[in-house]
Structure 1
Amino acid sequence: MEYRDWSILRTLYQEQNITKTAKSLYLSQPALTKRLRQIEKEFGVQIVQRGRRGVHFTPEGEYLANCADEMLVRLRKIKEHVANMGEEVSGTLRLGVSNYFARYKLPGLLKLFKQKYPLVEFKVETGWSKDVYQAVYNQDVHLGFVRGDYNWPGGKQLLFEESVCIVSQTPLDLKSLPDLPRIDYETDPLLQTLVDSWWTQNYSSPPRIDMEVDKADTCGEMVASGLGYAILPRLVAEGKEGLHLIELRDAANQPIRRSTWMFYHEESMELQNVKAFVRFMQQMDFPHSY
């Protein structure tokens, strides 16, 4: 079995459709079908059955498909280990990055790292912090940059902390906040829980949500246009001039802060490129808090 064969099994099991699988893997349908027949011949079993609604895996095929993730990870680790056996720092560094960090922090970091280690290439996946956390946990990426206090048992580095703020175009009276129009946005569950908890501790009535948008950046633009207030991490709001910020504070009157972390598995440090990147990040001078 070749690497591409395991990739075919995994993708076909996810898609349950020959056409979609071929398109995803940049193969023609005849080439994909031919490869499936060769895999079936190699194992001496039927792997899939075709139906009007797609393909159905036989018990033997389902077992092989379930082995595909494990085999692909194993083969990838073998390639990475061989590529990193020398002292030269090279190979592909796989990063999982929260959306905000990818936009505002990562490009400058990768530029500096690339200047120091020009042979290293990058594969970057972005998403919500909860998804990045899962990608690091599953070892789909070497390192993950997440926002929020996740329970991580492996190697980690606190990069910085930022306060969470009420952001508005004009000064606000906190007592009247429930009666004012608020702009909400999609965010990760940890931040949403933090904001909801602060609200219930300070107000007996729900917020007046006049608008919902998909991203924090879009939300900030709406606030800057005077369409309402929002509760945003400080770094999102600080890029826009003329806005008024009030830090959220807990019962002890301490600012409520949100942490940004770098997570990785300790065994990944055996790879030269991962070790170099972790050392590089440890030397970066991030402000402790915003």
Structure 2
Amino acid sequence: MNYHDWEMLDVLRSTENITKASQLLFVSQPTVTSRIQKLEEHYGVKLILRKQKGITFTPEGEQLAQHATKMLHEQRKIEDKMDNMKSQVSGTLRVGVSNFFALNKMPKLLRLFKQEYPNVEFQVVTGWSSEVHRLILNHDVHISFIKGDYTWKEKKELLYEEEICVAAPWEFEWEDLPEAPRIDYYTDEKMKGIVDAWWYSNYTQRPNINIEVNQVETCKEMVVNGLGYAILANLVVRNYPELFIKPLLDSTGRPITRKTWMYYLEDSMEMNIVRAFVHFIRGLDVKAL
């Protein structure tokens, strides 16, 4: 097996779908299928079984895929070491980023860092905070930007804290909310848990959700256009003075907030590129960007 085989098996293992794997690998589906067949011929065993909506690995295929993932990690480690031996800050920085941070903060951060260190390249993976947390746990990225508090025993930096609020296109009182039209959006379980806990500690009836969307930015646009209220982070709506915004309060009357963190591995600070990026982030007011 070579690097491309390792990469293919690793992606197949995470997606369990040849179509999705081919898209992530930027190759055609027949190419992926052909490479699997060649590996099966080489090892003399069946590696995958086709399901109605994807594939599953045979025991032999799972063993080979685990080996491929291990080899990819080893390859990345040696590449990182080679990059770190250079006196200048260069190489590839692998970053996991939560969806909102990726849209609203990350492009500016990378542009500013690139201006200071032009020989740096980036590999950025976006997703829900739970997914980005998994990336850093598995050492698939050097640094993760995560909303919310997740289990982490390594290094982390608090970037900012923001209030969770109700944003509406009209004036409202708290007692109005159960009957008012609410716009909801798909988010990670921790954020959903915070909002649900607040709601059911203040109201006995379910919210009147009449629009559901898959992104917070879409939700915001629905609110701006007068279609209902939403419960979201203040940073999403802070630049819209026409909206009526009130923070959620806990049982003691304090605003309910959500933190945004930078997680990283202590060992990775031995790398020039990671150390430079962490110091760069420390010197910025990320919330104000």
Same fold at TM > 0.5:
yes
2:36–2:47 contact (8 Å) kept in structure 1: no
Which residue of structure 1 lines up, in the alignment, with residue 109 of structure 2? Answer: 109
Matched residue type, 1:201: S
Q: Structure 2 regions of 5+ residues with no counterpart? A: none
Q: Report how far residue 287 of structure 1 moved.
A: 5.1
Q: Which moved more, 1:15-24 or 1:101-110?
A: 15-24
Matched residue type, 1:47: V
2:170–2:243 contact (8 Å) kept in structure 1: yes
Cα deviations by residue, 1:92-125 (Å, 9 ceiling, x for unpaired)? 1111111111111111111111111100001111
Which residue of structure 2 lines up, in the alignment, with residue 47 of structure 1? Answer: 45
Matched, 1:217 2:194: no
In 1, Cα distance between equivalents of 2:221 and 2:127: 21
The within-5 A match list for 1:61-140 is 61-140=61-140
Q: Which runs of 4+ in 1 moved over 3 A?
A: 8-25, 27-41, 49-62
1:19–1:29 contact (8 Å) kept in structure 2: no
Q: Report how far residue 56 of structure 1 moved.
A: 7.7
Q: Report how far residue 64 of structure 1 moved.
A: 1.7
Which residue of structure 2 lines up, in the alignment, with residue 184 of structure 1? Answer: 184
Which residue of structure 2 lines up, in the alignment, with residue 157 of structure 1? Answer: 157
Q: Report how far residue 239 of structure 1 moved.
A: 2.7
1:48–1:55 contact (8 Å) kept in structure 2: no
In structure 2, do the counterparts of structure 1 residues 273 and 6 end up closer, same or farther at CA, with 3 Å as the change threshold?
same
Q: Which moved more, 1:227-236 or 1:25-34?
A: 25-34
2:47–2:61 contact (8 Å) kept in structure 1: no
2:18–2:29 contact (8 Å) kept in structure 1: no
Which residue of structure 1 lines up, in the alignment, with residue 258 of structure 2? Answer: 258
Q: Report how far residue 214 of structure 1 moved.
A: 1.4
In 1, Cα distance between equivalents of 2:55 and 2:175: 60
2:50–2:56 contact (8 Å) kept in structure 1: no
In 2, Cα distance between equivalents of 1:34 and 1:168: 54
In 1, Cα distance between equivalents of 2:246 and 2:275: 40
1:49–1:55 contact (8 Å) kept in structure 2: no
Q: Report how far residue 16 of structure 1 moved.
A: 6.8
In structure 2, do the counterparts of structure 1 residues 171 and 151 end up closer, same or farther at CA, with 3 Å as the change threshold?
same
SS of the residue 2:178 aligns to: helix
Matched, 1:26 2:27: yes
Which residue of structure 1 lines up, in the alignment, with residue 230 of structure 2? Answer: 230
Q: How many residues align?
A: 285
Matched, 1:6 2:6: yes
In 1, Cα distance between equivalents of 2:284 and 2:241: 27
Cα deviations by residue, 1:238-287 (Å, 9 ceiling, x for unpaired)? 13230010111111111111110001111111211111101111111245
2:45–2:60 contact (8 Å) kept in structure 1: yes
Cα deviations by residue, 1:183-233 (Å, 9 ceiling, x for unpaired)? 111111111110111111111111111111111111111111221111111
Q: Structure 1 regions of 5+ residues with no counterpart? A: none
What is the aligned-residue identity percentage?
Answer: 45
In 2, Cα distance between equivalents of 1:20 and 1:222: 31
Q: Report how far residue 57 of structure 1 moved.
A: 5.6
In 2, Cα distance between equivalents of 1:3 and 1:57: 19
In 1, Cα distance between equivalents of 2:242 and 2:29: 55
In 1, Cα distance between equivalents of 2:131 and 2:17: 25
In 2, Cα distance between equivalents of 1:256 and 1:52: 47
In 1, Cα distance between equivalents of 2:87 and 2:157: 24
* TM-score normalised by L of structure 1: 0.87
Q: Which has the larger radius of gyration?
A: 1
Q: Report how far residue 20 of structure 1 moved.
A: 7.4
SS of the residue 1:48 aligns to: coil
In 1, Cα distance between equivalents of 2:11 and 2:108: 34
In 2, Cα distance between equivalents of 1:206 and 1:28: 46
In 2, Cα distance between equivalents of 1:263 and 1:56: 32
- RMSD over aligned CA atoms reads 2.8
Q: Report how far residue 171 of structure 1 moved.
A: 1.1
1:48–1:56 contact (8 Å) kept in structure 2: no
Which residue of structure 2 lines up, in the alignment, with residue 273 of structure 1? Answer: 273
* TM-score normalised by L of structure 2: 0.88
In 2, Cα distance between equivalents of 1:18 and 1:190: 31
Q: Report how far residue 39 of structure 1 moved.
A: 8.0
Q: Which moved more, 1:61-70 or 1:14-23?
A: 14-23
In 1, Cα distance between equivalents of 2:175 and 2:286: 35
